[in-house]
Amino acid sequence: MTERRELTFEDVLRNAGVQEAQDRLRRLEPDPATLPGAVPPGREASPEPSPPEGGCGSGSCGCGKSAPSNTLMDKPMDRRRAIGTMLGALAVTTQAAGACAPTSLESAEGREAKRLKQEEFFKGNYRLMTPGEKGETVRRLERLAELRGQGDVSIRTDEALPNVMYGYAFNISKCKGFRNCVDACIEENNLDRASGDQYIRIFEKPDGESIDDLEHADATYGHEVPAEGHYYLGTQCFQCANPPCVYVCPVQATWQEPDGIVVVDYDWCIGCRYCIAACPYWARRFNWAEPEVPAEDLNPRQHYLGNRTRKKGVVEKCTFCIQRSREGRLPACAEACPTGARVFGNLLDPDSEIRWVLENKQVFRLKEDLGTEPRFWYFMD
Amino acid sequence: MHLKWFVLSAFKSATTGGRRYHLWMGALTFVMLLGAYGYWVQLREGLAVTGMNDHVSWGLYISNFTFLVGMAAAAVMLVLPAYVLEDVDFTRAVLIAEGVAVSALVMCLAFVVVDLGNPFASWHLIPGIGILNWPRSMLAWDVVVLNGYLGLNLFIPFYILYNHYIGAKPSKARYVPWVYLSVFWAVSIHLVTAFLMAGLPARPFWNHGLLGPRFLASAFTAGTAFMILLLWFVDKETEYDIEAGAFRKLAMVTAVAAQVNLIMLGSEIFTEFYFPTHHVQSAQYLFFGLDGYDQLVPWIRTAIVLNVGATAVLMIHPLREHRNWLLGACMVLFVAVWVEKGMGLIVPGFIPSPLGEIVEYSPTWVEVVVTAGIWAMGLFILTALVKVALPIELGHLRSPLISQAASRPSGPTKSRVRPRL
Amino acid sequence: MSFGRHAFIGAAWVLAAVTAVAWSLSRPAPAVQSELEGLPTLAPGRRSAASFETEDTLPSALHDVVAEPVRGRWTGPGGRPLHVAVRSRPEADYRYRRIGRRTFYLGLRLTEPDPPDGSCTSCHQGQGIIDGRQGEERDGIHQNIQPVHPAQTGAQCLTCHAADDVGRLRLERGGSTSLDHSYELCAQCHFREVESWAFGAHGKRLVGWRGRRVIMTCADCHDPHRPATEPRIPMGGLSLPGPLRRPGEGGPHD
């Protein structure tokens, strides 16, 4: 018999054929086009969409939607819109000179993109929107994504599930520092690739060092893990019950949803970064430049408060994958972890795994003395 | 109408002057244009062109903002004796102080705007059409109090100058209540700015009760030092005389504030280093360096040495009376407080990060250019305001309509006089 | 300007300021949850814990995972039913999950059962080899089995593998269980771990946090012959505050 070395992960992939695995997955996973809120099938996402003949209002384009009929002039005016219209001339002029660039200034699509952006500019805080307004803004955002060539993007506005409060437990005995969670989060949440943005930090700490002491913790390791004499601990946003970041926002662009997730309305944020200064767990990130996700990596299943495309100058953070958890699915980090170190569930359900962990394991939280009441516990086997 | 002539005369006064005046304003304009270019680059590329990052998320802009709020608050040191205590030494100096307050406040607001990542969305702050998270967010408080103080410092001098311009006597009953308000308000703007940092449990370097009082002490040190320098310049270069008593009293105020500032610094250093805990790692980083990161150590040590030296000079009575020593000490104090309160307060608050990671900060050319541009804008506004106020106060600038109103009390001159300085 | 106008303008400013302040105070405050003192159990109106799990609200991804109810006395917390993913059905390859647009391998063990389809009976019959297949050269058969765990415990092949069918696992109490239900065997010694596994503190749940609870069985993560976690190079790569090395660039494990 020939010498045969043990199968490694690479062999597994090669043997199975990653293409084959992906085919297999495509057979198992539902077609995103069949999900509610998705673009109807038959519409291919092309990188250079040509303007439909006759313009968008002619009904000749294949998207199946008629052109939005409510221009700025037709909208019923209230005080905010009236003042906003007066500010509009200045804003649009400076905006045109600024960073936003429609696909083509001459084309109908460029004009449509500009109009959509103008309408987006004057909308209010998401939390105060009526369901109708939420639907409108999502339609505008999806249309803008379509004009950018991301035709399969669907943005959901799922409300919090009733009787749900999310909790998270992290097993520091099980975590081996593999960082699958970090990568999964980046893929799922459309994080900017260029700047290396990550919501999750995995720290390698020497054995014997207290969990609350991160002085000698190293998150930049590249060696094989688990390393002798070390243990691993991950941080991300803990969705605190008493969140300092929510209190300090001057415009209430960040708030806590009824299911416990602390969310950000990216379009309402003014980018003052006071919340970043206020967070004791370094959980919030700022888009210092325009975030870029390659088209082939963009996750099209998005939520307005979660992984939709952000813009430069606004704050973002982990939302326990709001686009997944409100569908009953695990967050990407919990799903991707190979060791099962991450436990996620509903704290209000007395028979959930998270409740069992809290009641039967020795759990602790970071910086307990600050009184932020994070909903993220650490435990050991 | 008098108001129309007031505006026209003011504009004319601000745009007319000698060679040195025009050179000064021209240089400031040039720096402002540079700053505008830098800001345009920042708008286009995002704040990634600055040196800030997710760890040190506030830098040069907020440092200058913090320092300048103190400068604005220091105007109270002249407003209080001039209007409330009716000390004659200060009557001529107070309008200039209010001009400093106005230009400092405009600079503060400018620094906040350039620091925003999404400035076009700042209409979200306007209550009614947006949401202002008052009273919970200290930043919302800051927006309210800074704009309110700006309003006060625009109204009171405007009222007085306008009345002098039309040859009328400003009525105390009409402006003194606002003056009382502005005295308390001045203290509150700086306390609110301190509270917005002191209230953060995530930042142990700021989260203590001494931050507010320390802010006030350093504000009254640097602010009055700047006032002394400015008043000396006005006294020397223009016809407008400042009483010697004003200098003496302001110097006393500066000396006392500088000593209080040093006592507070000493108290902080003792509390931090007598038995160091993990909470004082930021102070460790600032004064001694941490794990080999010691970028700010030379800055803060120089600032402390300058501070101590200048305070010592001011404490010696004969030196304080001597104009050159006084001016030198004031300049040194101004710079020392700027370093200590700006980069020496904001940046160490973020190092190490809440998760123990150390990332240092250096401003980029964009930040430096924009900061210089905003300082130039502030000096430009200050110069223009002073250039308008002085002729009115000296009696050279009066409304041309005065001679037409027979029943009005006349000012020193009845005919239309071209302003000269 | 007269005093009246001054007063009017001053009053207008004050009124505007007060209105603005009152308006902003009347806006809804941030919805902050009350502190977690004594976790609330059920919302009013809910009669039982079972009503939390009335429907399976998961996307079809979980429906396609073949799972069987867990055998024996093992249940989830509160007696909730528990299902174990069945790995003997190759089309249900639940170890590959798509997250975003990328495929992630969820398995902890980097070795595959040998032969990959787990069909021991293709060669073995009882304790012997099927007639005609003795001496057959099969590339690397059983070469990847390094009996570390047996060496530690003193077990032999037939301690765990049933004598009459080596594709099944022998239980001490008598009888055997299939490879899909290996926990029945492992629990004989590792009862604490299996208890944690059943209640959710150990092991891996698939796809969702609500609905049908499907978890991976022991052998999905632990190679029974060499169960310790294999070290590996971590994903991503990090340098503060520079760019993240793009997953797949430079690291051997994509």
Residue-wise pLDDT for B301-341, tens only, equals 999 999 999 999 999 999 999 999 999 999 999 999 999 99
pLDDT of residue A49: 36
- Topology, domain B2-404: Formate dehydrogenase/DMSO reductase fold (1.20.1630)
The pairing of strands A342-346 and A315-317 is unpaired
Beta strands in B159-272 (DSSP E): none
User: Tokens 């009390």, residue?
Assistant: B409
Is residue C143 a contact partner of residue A7, using CB atoms and an 8 Å limit?
Answer: no
Rounded distance between C-alpha atoms, residue B61 and residue A303, angstroms? 34
Question: Half-sphere exposure (CA, 13 Å, Cβ side) for A201?
Answer: 26
Per the CB < 8 Å rule, is A214 touching B54? no
Give me the helices (H) in B60-93, please.
Answer: 60-73, 76-79
CA atoms within 13 A on the CB side of A61: 22
Rounded Cα–Cα distance for residues C107 and C116 (Å): 15
Q: In what order do the strands lie in the sheet with C83-85?
A: C67-69, C83-85, C214-215
User: What pLDDT, on the 0 to 100 scale, is given for residue C27?
Assistant: 60
pTM, 2 dp: 0.81
C115 touches chain A (CB under 8 A): no
Does the N-terminal peptide bond of residue B363 adopt cis geometry, omega within 30 degrees of 0?
A: no
CA C222-A358-C44 angle, to 5 degrees, is: 125
Hey, which chains touch C, using 3+ CB pairs under 8 Å?
Answer: A, B
Strands A301-303 and A154-156, by their bridges, are parallel
Confidence of residue A76 (pLDDT cuts 50, 70, 90): very low
Sign for the pseudo-dihedral over CA of B406, B409, B415, B418 = negative
Counted domains in chain C: 1
Instruction: Suggest the residue from B126, B139, B211, B359 to mutate for an interface test with chain A (most A CBs closer than 10 A).
Output: B139
What is the model's pLDDT at position B76? 87
Chain A residue at shortest CA distance from B111: A272
Q: Which residues in chain B touch residue A84, judged by CB atoms under 8 angstroms apart?
A: 123, 129
Burial of B348 (0-12, 13-18, 19+ CB in 10 A): buried
Q: Where is pLDDT greater, at C26 or A373?
A: A373
Tell me which residue in A2, A9, A298 faces C110 most closely, judged by beta carbons: A9
Residue A204 has pLDDT above 90, yes or no: yes
CA distances to A52, A310, A332, B61, B331 from B376, rounded to whole Å, are 52, 35, 50, 14, 18
pLDDT at A55 over 50: no
**Which residues of chain A neighbour C198 with C-beta distances below 8 Å?**
none
C1 contacts chain B (CB < 8 A): yes
Q: Would the pLDDT of A174 be above 70?
A: yes
Between residues 189 and 218 of chain C, which touch chain A (CB distance below 8 Å)?
Answer: 193, 196, 199-205, 207-211, 216
- What pLDDT score does C223 carry? 87
- Cα torsion through A86, A90, A93, A95, rounded to 10: -100
Token digits of residue C74: 């093992």
Region C139-143 average pLDDT: 66
Please report residues of C whose CB lies closer than 8 A to that of A256: 30-33
Show the DSSP H helices in chain A as ranges: 9-16, 18-28, 79-97, 108-121, 131-147, 180-188, 244-248, 274-278, 322-325, 332-336, 353-360
**DSSP 3-state of C42:** coil
Mean pLDDT of C208-234: 88
Q: Which residues 6+ apart lie within 8 Å of A114 measured at CB? A: A92, A96, A102
Q: Which residue of C has its CA nearest to A220?
A: C238
Locate A358 and state its tokens: 């809290």
C143: which DSSP letter? Answer: T
Share of chain C above pLDDT 70, in %: 65
Q: Which of A128, A251, A273 sits opposite B125 (nearest CB)?
A: A251
* Banded pLDDT at C157 (limits 50, 70, 90): confident
Q: Among candidates A314, A224, A328, which has minimal Cα distance to A263?
A: A314
Interface test with C, best of B2, B3, B50, B131 (most C CBs within 10 A): B131
In the 8-state DSSP scheme, what is residue A76?
P
Contact yes or no for B117 and A286 at CB 8 A: yes
Q: Do B52 and A288 touch (CB under 8 A)?
A: yes
Report whether pLDDT(C52) > 70. Answer: no
Residue C229 DSSP symbol? P
State whether A251 and B133 contact (CB < 8 Å): yes
What was the pLDDT predicted at B152?
Answer: 92
Pairwise CA distance, residues C76 & A99, whole Å: 53
CATH class of A166-379: alpha beta
Report the distance separating Cα B161 and Cα B175, nearest Å: 12
Q: What type of residue is C182?
A: S
- Among A81-90, A132-141, C169-178, the range scoring the smallest mean pLDDT is A81-90
Q: Report pLDDT for C154.
A: 86
Which residues contact residue B298 at a Cβ distance below 8 angstroms, ignoring those fewer than 6 apart?
none
State residue C211's pLDDT score: 85
pLDDT of residue A92: 53
Q: Are C97 and A336 in contact (CB under 8 A)?
A: yes
- Measure the CA–CA gap between B277 and B262, rounded to whole angstroms: 23
A157 touches chain B (CB under 8 A): no
**Cα–Cα dist B158/A359, whole Å:** 68
Res A214: pLDDT? 86
Instruction: Give Cα B389 to chain centroid, integer Å.
Output: 19
- B-chain residues near A203 (CB < 8 A): 355
- Asked if residue A94 has pLDDT above 80, the reply is no
Instruction: Residue count of chain A, please give it.
Output: 381
Q: Which residues of chain B make contact with A215, given a CB cutoff of 8 A?
A: 278, 281, 352, 356
Rg (CA), chain A: 23
Q: Residues A294-352: pLDDT tens digits?
A: 988 899 999 999 999 999 999 999 999 999 999 999 999 999 999 999 999 999 999 99
Partner-chain contact B132 C6, CB within 8 Å: no
What is the number of other CB atoms lying within 10 angstroms of the CB of residue A143?
Answer: 20
User: In this structure, how many other beta carbons lie within 10 angstroms of the beta carbon of residue A163?
Assistant: 17
Tokens of B369: 């250019």
pLDDT interval class at C118 (50, 70, 90): low
Q: Return the residue in C24, C26, C244 with the most chain B beta carbons within 10 A, the one to mutate for interface testing.
A: C24
CB spacing of C43 vs A162 below 8 angstroms: yes
Chain C residues with CB inside 8 Å of A355's CB?
Answer: 39, 77
Closest-CA distance, B49 to chain C, in angstroms, reads 14
Q: Note the pLDDT of residue C24.
A: 65
CA C157 to chain A, closest CA, distance in angstroms equals 20
Q: Looking at A101-105, C12-16, C186-190, which range is the least confident one? A: A101-105
Helix, strand, coil share of chain B (percent; to 5): 70, 0, 30
Q: Report the first-to-last Cα separation within chain C, whole angstroms.
A: 77
* Pairs of CB atoms within 8 A across A/B: 170
* A268 close to B121: Cβ distance less than 8 angstroms: yes
Q: Is C31 on the interface with B (CB under 8 A)?
A: no
Cβ-nearest to C13 among B3, B140, B151: B151
Cβ-based neighbours of A78, under 8 Å, separated by 6 or more: none
Which residues of B, range 98-127, sit inside 8 Å of C by Cβ? Answer: 127
Interface contact flag, A272 B139, Cβ < 8 Å: yes
Nearest CA distance, A95 vs chain C (angstrom)? 28
Predicted pLDDT of residue B397: 83
Banded pLDDT at C26 (limits 50, 70, 90): low
According to the model, what pLDDT value does residue C117 have?
59
Write down the pLDDT at residue A67.
Answer: 37
pLDDT along chain B (421 residues), means of 10: 86 90 96 97 95 94 96 90 86 91 96 96 92 93 95 92 89 89 92 95 95 94 95 91 90 95 95 92 94 93 96 94 93 96 93 91 95 97 93 86 57 44 37
Q: How confident is residue C100, by pLDDT bands cut at 50, 70 and 90?
A: confident
Range of the domain at C189: 56-131+146-221
Phi-psi region of A179 (alpha: psi -120 to 50; beta: other; left: phi over 0): left
pLDDT of residue A183: 92
Q: What residues does each domain of chain A span?
A: 63-152, 166-379
Contact (CB, 8 A) for C233 and C245? no
Give the DSSP letter string of C3-14. HHHHHHHHHHHH
The C-alpha of B361 sits at a distance from chain A's nearest C-alpha, in angstroms, of 15
The band of C241, judged by pLDDT with boundaries at 50, 70 and 90, is very low
What pLDDT score was predicted for residue A86?
Answer: 56
C-facing residues of B in 133-172 (CB < 8 A) are 133-136, 140, 144, 148, 151, 155, 159, 162, 171
Average pLDDT, chain A: 80
Indicate the pLDDT class of residue C65, thresholds 50, 70 and 90: confident
**B55 or A108, higher pLDDT:** B55
Report the interhelical angle of B94-115 vs B60-73 (nearest 10°).
160
Distance (Å, whole) CA A377 – CA A362:
10
In this prediction, residue A81 carries a pLDDT of 54
B44 contacts on A by Cβ (under 8 Å) = 98-99
Tell whether the model's pLDDT for residue C87 goes beyond 90: no
Record: contact A338-C108, CB cut-off 8 A? yes
The alpha carbon of residue C243 is apart from the nearest alpha carbon of chain A, in Å, by 4
Among residues A221, A179, A236, A175, the alpha carbon closest in space to that of C238 is found at: A221
Chain A residue closest in CA terms to C216: A340
Asked if the C-beta of A210 comes within 8 angstroms of chain B's C-beta atoms, the answer is: no
Q: Is some CB atom of chain C closer than 8 A to the CB atom of B53?
A: yes
What count of Cα atoms within 13 Å lies in the side-chain half-sphere of residue B154? 12
Write the pLDDT tens digit of every residue in A281-291. 999 999 999 99
A377 within 8 A of A363, measured Cβ to Cβ: yes
